[in-house]
Structure 1
Amino acid sequence: MGSVRIAAPEVEIVAPRDDREIAAYAALAHASFGTEIPDIGYLRPHALTRVATENGRVLAGAMGIPVPQFFGGRAVPSACVSAVCVAPEARGRGIAGRLMAELVRGLRDEHGAAAVSLWTPSVGLYRRWGWGTIATPCRWVLPAAQLREFRRTTAPGLGIVEGVHAFQQEEARAWNGPVRRPAWWWEWKRATAPATTYHLTDTSGEVTGYLTATTAPVKPWGHDMFVHELAARDRQSLHTLIGFLGEHASQVQDIHLGPTATPVLSGLLDHLSQFSARARTWYPWMLALVDPVEAVRARGWDEDLDVDLVLSVADPQGRTTGYRLSVHGGAGRLETTGDNPDVELTSGHLAAWYAGAFGSPARMRVVGVRGRPAALRRLSRTTDDREPWLPDTF
């Protein structure tokens, strides 16, 4: 997890020992985020939780949800970190670093996580701990009336029908990062963040797309619609869902396309007769490879790849580890080696490469990855077959 300031020895990092400490953590999260965080109670049976206590008082808390994430089309043992908070008067003592180190250690050692994700505005802090920035999504806002330009061939149905969950998981495999959602994930979202779901099916009844949305009133009249999830099998299905949103224009002023909605939406904006979209960035998605060897072994790889490269990976303390990356016949291996490196990078760079965030050798060079041009090209090609996208919030 990197170098951190050492907190006072009387501060303990522990699993919550009773309901009182859980309640204190929830109250601290409420004060930190300005809103109630019902996830802390709901996810308690499914998550690994750690709190920092001093003289019986909870000073900080964080939780990690052990769930697989898709990388290269395969589900990799992973975890999602949520609700990280530290009391304002306890900040600056290194408590956050100790808390995260203990949480990540537990996720790796107790639950087998090879990669850990989180959404955070504190990118500098996590970068110092060895995390890499994978994507910074945008929230698009468009006038509802403009979306009427997208013609729909059918009307979406209301509610989640059989096949929506399977469709979401199949679509998730096409990207790097989506969670392989367990059954309780859907129940959790319905309980803590209720939204209306619409689905599309073809003539055979097969699901071809879906979206989830909520509305909120705006002054002086009407309301805005917020799209939290949107996925479609093909262009026609996507246009139908977008056109359906436009049909709400009699009462809806703006459509807010959430940062976790499908990333291909930005390309659809070119189809508008007049571009009037507004964009606002959201928290970045950051990733840490807490077990790089297992992460590479578990990931999916293109069967046509034939790569052998030596990587020198620097951790946040400046220590370097040599790895030989071998990808052959759809299988990847990462083994320690003392050979001279072809590519030099940090642990944060390694996470970004793993998720396909670089895309090109030019971007790798700009962020500080060093190596011969041919080696950088070979490394970037190993993970550029899928784009990074994390459609899940936690």
Structure 2
Amino acid sequence: MAAVPDKILDLPGRPTDRAHLVDRVFFGFGTLAAAWLAWDAVRASFGPSWWSLGFLVVFWLVLAYLVLPRLNRILSSVYVPDYFIGRTRTSDGLLGDPLNLAFNGTGEQLSTALRRAGWIKADPVTLGSSVRIVGSTLMDRSYAEAPVSPLMLFGRQQDAAFQQEVAGNPGQRHHVRVWRTPPGWVLPGGHRVDWLAAGTYDRRVGLSLFTLQVTHKIDADVDVERDFIADSVLRAVPGATIRPLVDFTTGYHSRNGGGDTVHTDGTLPVVDLSAVETAADADPLVNPSEDPARLPFEVLLPAVLTILVGPLVLLEALLDVGGPSSTAERLLLGGVVALAATSIFCAVMMLRRSAWARRWLLLVSSLIVVAQFWEYELTGASDRQLTAMYHAGVMILVVLALSSPVATAWCRRRPS
């Protein structure tokens, strides 16, 4: 009689170590703190002055850009599969646009082919480019290199995005995001490709169904855009060939991360660019986010706030010590000095990728948020309440930045 094999327990999720659990706790606290800030903005909008209605704008900003994205990330980590299913994911973890195109060839060949076909590489998403696209949309001015929101595949955002603006209108454009596949990676069925792409058509600007953020709304028929991109390359680039992978996925109707309806027949055209002669100034399409030395904004912002605010706290405390005070007050001010000095030191160490320094700043910032919350709830004067809400809002931004996956990865990863 054959031996019965040992049972294999299929436990969902990954083993959670103590450090990972601490990060999850701070992530959840930041989400709750942002929700409290949104609720207080609503309460402040019912003030006696007409300008109190401006807090409704604050409520929308906090809800759309802080609270709902975090809630989506928490929920999507539970029910969205963490493996390749032919879909991208948004930075909040929601399922994004379908992958509907593939390329074979080097980065230089791909950028050469798209440029010859009339496609323009999009600017990266920065503060300057974001402000410019908002101004261009409001003023109805052309911005041919307008940035494209990041989507995730293979655990990273797109390596590059290309687009064609329609009639000089930044609200309407053809665009395609491309990702380099990992070494040795194959599609389901054993097919090898060098690049995967998601092509869609932006038809107007609107609000996301899931986060209420301002975003582009795409056309539902992504197959039409897929064929438009492939045909533009084949017409403009001699030597390019195409091979369709029929039934790459089953045909389906779904929604993307912005809540827009999408439908596809499931075919994946593979465009072969291996015979394309590259231009002398061809872009290799290297993803800037893969630079291990690149300091992310989620680390820079809290470090700058700590380093700038810390010396002011130290100066104020030292000036207060010079006057008459009780022993208890001197001890309290001494504690403030020590806390501020320690926080400044931790901010510097965090820039050097220290994980314990990031967690110390998370702890201090969280305690300040709780203190400001307590002051806001107990203070009767409206001016003191607004001051407490403002201070709490700044510290909540610090907590959200430090507890983000980007900041966590920065302080754990060592530069090569």
**TM-score of the superposition, structure 2-length normalised?**
0.26
Higher relative CO (Cα under 8 Å, sequence separation at least 6) belongs to 1
Higher share of residues assigned strand: 1
Query: Normalization by structure 1: what TM-score?
Result: 0.27
Larger-gyration structure (1/2) = 2
